[in-house]
Amino acid sequence: METLNGTEGENIPLADAIQMTKAFREANSHATKAFYIGKNIMNELLGQDNCVGMRIYNALDEDNQAQVVIVGVTSDNKDLYEGIRADKTKPCPTLCDSNSPLNQ
Tell me: the pLDDT tens digits for 4-56?
999 999 999 999 999 999 999 999 999 999 999 999 999 999 999 999 999 99
Predicted local distance difference test score (pLDDT) of residue 65: 87
How many domains, the chain? Answer: 1
Residue 15's alpha-carbon distances to 19, 23, 28, 49, in angstroms, are 6, 12, 20, 36
Q: Is there a domain that residue 63 lies in?
A: yes
Identify the band that residue 87 occupies on the pLDDT scale cut at 50, 70 and 90: confident
pLDDT of residue 88: 83
Per-residue pLDDT, averaged over 79-96, amounts to 86
d(CA 20, CA 13): 11
pLDDT at 56: 93
Domain assignment of residue 40, given as a range: 34-99
> Is 15 within 8 Å of 22 (Cβ atoms)?
no
Does 88 fall in a domain? yes
**Residue among 102, 92, 88, 98 nearest 32 (CA):** 92
Residue 20 located in a structural domain:
no
So what's the pLDDT on residue 38?
92
